[in-house]
Amino acid sequence: MPMPLSPPTMGSMQIAGSNGFGHNIEFMSQAYLRNRYSEIDIEDYTVYADKDHPLPIFLKFEDVEYKVRSSQAASINPVRVVVSKFASQLNLEQDKYKEILKGVTGSTGPGEILALMGPSGSGKTTLLKIIGGRLTDNVKGNITYNDIPYNPALKRRIGFVTQDDILLPQLTVEETLVFSAFLRLPSDMSLQQKYAKVEMITKELGLERCRHTRIGGGLVKGISGGERKRTSIGYEILVDPSLLLLDEPTSGLDSTSANKLIHILQGVAKAGRTVITTIHQPSSRMFHMFDKLLLISEGYPIYSGKARECMEYFSSLRFIPEIAMNPAEFLLDLATGQVNDITLPEDLVASQGTADSDRAVIKYLQLKYKTHLEPKEKEENHRSTKAPQQLQLAIQVKKDWTITWWEQFMIIMKRTFRERRRDYFDKLRLLQSLGVAVLLGLLWWKSSAATEAQLRDQVGLLFYICIFWTSSSIFGAVYVFPFEKVYLVKERKADMYRLSVYYVCSTLCDMVAHVLYPTSFMLIVYFMAGFKRTVVCFFLTLFTILLIAIISQGAGELFGAAVLSIKRAGMMASLVLMLFLLTGGYYVQHIPKFMRWMKYLSFMYYGFRLLVKVQYSGDQLYECQSKGGCRTLQNSPSFDTVNLDGGLQEVWILLAMALAYRLCAYFCLRKRISRCHI
């Protein structure tokens, strides 16, 4: 799953807004933690750990099948998926399913490494996700953990290492592990014990040299692929999971790094954990480190059993390599039907050289598995001793949150701020804000409202300021959730923290930028442009601009949370922004009755009216040099639809909008994230 575009990995991204200026939305930064542990702390943790070994999990799965609707798999568009489902219910469209897994059986237990092997597309990762509870729809078969079906209590007992390392690139290795420890380790562990646990994992995985180096990824320079993979494993084993699942952990690593990684997994398994890993083509040294092997071809097993006995099994079927071969290479050749340099049984010799020779080999192996190995696997599952009652009960106990809401808030707040600190204090972004302020100040240098033409110029500046901070804030927030989706889904699947904590921290941290830059902007443009030079007017104008920016941030979050797609979120934000601009009360003052309702949805409409009411009063005189004599501003054509008195109504409406956008964004995010998988 490529992730070249994400807040941490984006160095800088310019989004052209409706005002023609680019909006920098550079995210994330890094910071370093002090080492707060000692050898005494490590000894304290060792004593603590002895009291709480990983809960043993004996895993059994039988006749596991999985299929997806072809029309649904072909499109990620939710509208198209819903239409397809509706059409199928009305028999307007025949349901077609694609079988991914066709009846997989196996078992494994503590202290063992089960390797899932097979060619690309054979269903290895799908089976791993089903075992980990990541996929539940359209799954058939029986999967038990200590003879108990999957339940939510298992979430925090399962560690899942994805093929692509989903780690925040701007955090260091140590920060990544420390924040995970603070969020996931039990509350009865002291801070020193948690730091000591991080130190032990760091040493165990050989991460001492890179502990203060950023994770990196994409456009962000960081640690090597092997170090990143070991960090991902450390991130999971930090909390002593009973079942550790790894998807292609050696992909992209050199042979030495891959061997070292599998050796580490051996140690993890020997500590009493059940380890399952998908692997494509391991070296011969790595292959002999596996305890069990499940070889899958086109969604169906062709071997299941002890890894060291697989060659003997295929030899008994008369599949014998004619040259010295890596066992893994030999097995993959069989799984794909490519049997060059392999002696075949007599039943298959005649089919060689035909168009269906590959399929014939696969079908033959699947049939032999069904008659020779599958009955033994099922018999072993049924014959094996039932897990002790205390293990069955323990696996059903739902763990409470390890720490309180407030403690989660403080930790996530600190982590989020460190991730995004570079964006908040970015020199280019500050230069852009100040540069635009100076430019506007020079163009409207000491403007006044003495004549109708001058008044229109000044009102135009107010509306442009409104446009600038609306578009800047919307595009600065709309991509946050789509970019961070993979990180959020991963951590929520592990029950690391409450979603409300993440949302509040994300909003509050980003609000720093949405307050800092408009404030510095207004300090320049307000006094250069000749607005009312009173303390009350300045702070009321600044309050209005900040309110507009904060509402725009909430609107951007809503658009991003509603679709969780970079492309669609940007498109939605652009369309809604254009609608808000046109109905804001400056370009079109007299909107037709059948379209008038639209302006009441626009916070720019209320924000612009409030800015005007702050700057001008209805009884203020102008055009005193004209032949007709002085007139009041309330009679100006510029304020034909605006009553310059009051303003409290607009304030309450804007405050209500700020709250409403955020509530809607939160519930949209909760609904969308619950349906996402990685």
Q: Give 13's DSSP letter.
A: -
Asked if residue 2 is part of any domain, the answer here is no
Query: Is the Cβ–Cβ distance between 677 and 129 less than 8 Å?
Result: yes
381 and 427 share one domain: no
430 and 389 share one domain: no
Cβ atoms within 10 Å of 111's Cβ, excluding its own: 15
The total domain count for the chain is 2
pLDDT digits (tens, 9 = 90+) for 573-592: 999 889 888 887 777 777 78
The rounded distance, in Å, linking the Cα atoms of 424 and 617 is 37
- Residue partners of 497: CB distance under 8 A and separation at least 6: 183, 401, 408, 412, 491
477 and 593 share one domain: yes
Of 372, 365, 325, give the one whose Cα is nearest residue 345: 365
Half-sphere exposure in the Cβ direction for 263 (13 Å, CA): 11
462 and 557 share one domain: yes
The rounded distance, in Å, linking the Cα atoms of 69 and 63 is 20
**CB under 8 A, 24+ apart: contacts of 338-344:** 343/318, 343/319, 344/318, 344/319
Please compute the mean of the pLDDT values over residues 459-475 and round it to a whole number: 91
Of 455, 511, 545, 494, give the one whose Cα is nearest residue 154: 494
Asked if residue 229 is part of any domain, the answer here is yes
Write out the residue range of the structural domain in which residue 449 sits: 14-23+423-673
Please compute the mean of the pLDDT values over residues 211-230 and round it to a whole number: 86
Question: What is the domain-level CATH number for residue 259?
Answer: 3.40.50.300
The rounded distance, in Å, linking the Cα atoms of 507 and 627 is 55
The residue type at 583: T
Q: How confident is the model at residue 623 (pLDDT cuts 50, 70, 90)?
A: low
Please compute the mean of the pLDDT values over residues 201-206 and round it to a whole number: 88
DSSP string, 186-247: -TTS-HHHHHHHHHHHHHHTT-STTTTSB--BTTB----HHHHHHHHHHHHHTT--SEEEEE
User: In a 3-state reduction of DSSP, which class is residue 336?
Assistant: helix
What is the rounded radius of gyration, in angstroms, for the C-alpha atoms of the chain? 31
351 and 463 share one domain: no
**496 or 53, which is more confident?**
496
21: which 2 tokens?
Answer: 């200026």
520 and 632 share one domain: yes
Asked if residue 626 is part of any domain, the answer here is yes
pLDDT at 50 over 90: no
What are the phi and psi torsion angles at 68 (to 5°)? -125, 150
- Average pLDDT over the chain, rounded to an integer: 82
19 and 74 share one domain: no
The rounded distance, in Å, linking the Cα atoms of 555 and 474 is 6
Asked if residue 484 is part of any domain, the answer here is yes
Q: Are strands 274-279 and 113-117 parallel, antiparallel or unpaired?
A: parallel
**What is the reported pLDDT for 77?**
53
**What is the reported pLDDT for 15?**
35
pLDDT digits (tens, 9 = 90+) for 73-123: 444 455 555 555 555 554 544 457 888 999 999 999 999 999 999 998 889
The rounded distance, in Å, linking the Cα atoms of 229 and 598 is 51
The residue type at 157: R
Q: Which residues of 362-377 are buried (b: 16+ CB within 10 A; e: fewer)?
A: bbbbbebbeeebbeeb
Name residue, tokens 């008369």: 318
The rounded distance, in Å, linking the Cα atoms of 122 and 299 is 5
173 and 244 share one domain: yes
Query: Could you give the percent of the chain with pLDDT greater than 90?
Result: 44
Give the lowest-confidence range in 80-94, 460-474, 478-492, 660-674: 80-94
pLDDT at 345 over 50: yes
